[in-house]
Amino acid sequence: MNMFSLKDKIAVITGGGSGIGRAIALLFAQRGAIVHLIEMDQIAVAQTLAELNEEAKGFGHLCDVGDQEAVLATFQKIGRIDILVNNAGIAHVGKVETTSEVDFDRVYQVNVKGAYNCLFAAIPLMKKNGRGVILNTASIASHVGIADRFAYSMSKGAIFAMSMSVARDYLSDNIRCNTISPARIHTPFVDGFIAKNFPENGAEMFEKLSKSQPIGRMGKPEEVAALALYLCSDEAGFITGCDYPIDGGFITLNN
């Protein structure tokens, strides 16, 4: 009955207003966590918080994770942090020769520097608290080549490498750090991407993207959230410095 309980733990979730972040926030709150959502979209935050049940506690913070000063101020305001889920991120389509410097810097600013800023702000608070759990959202692009995803792949490779470094450096501080590597997950972002880029054959493209996972469909945000819950719970206390693909067999079976 009490397995995977996060009762009274303070969880900070970046990008918690939609998609995977929203699903993680809702599940963590259901399991007793006090959730703090860091987002740039005020409406998305309000909608997510409105979905919490009456007993759940949730707070929203409008903050650009790429702005270290703003991140530090937000985390100091929160105070104690038991769990950090670095989930905020943006995508980009393009090969190296079609990726402009502006786009490269934009992806780096959010996906890489944003994660670094949150780690930089959270770890001293976790050390002060005597423990902590960090879960960073990487991607299958951390492991295999994905066509037309140069900048995005760069950023997720950095997430994986940073996570392993943090896991090693803070063993003695009782801070665990792991990553999850989703394949394509059916979120509003995917629907928006298809509508924007394939307005004439959206249903056909959705089917094609779904079938790119050997299991034959996209993942669900709730499935990713379930994995995140386990890795952030006390039941995963012996796990650190690991990556968990959640990919419908993409990495190992898509050959």
Catalytic residues: 152
C-alpha dihedral over 168, 174, 177, 178, to 10 degrees?
100
CB 179 within 8 A of CB 137: yes
Beta strand extents in the chain (DSSP E only):
10-14, 34-39, 57-62, 83-86, 132-137, 175-182, 243-246
| Spatial separation of the C-alpha atoms in residues 5 and 229, rounded to whole Å | 9
Cβ count within 10 A of residue 52: 15
Element (H, E) at 150: helix 150-169
Q: What Rg value do the Cα atoms of the chain yield, rounded?
A: 18
Q: Which two tokens stand for residue 137?
A: 């959202």
Q: Which two tokens stand for residue 168?
A: 């090693």
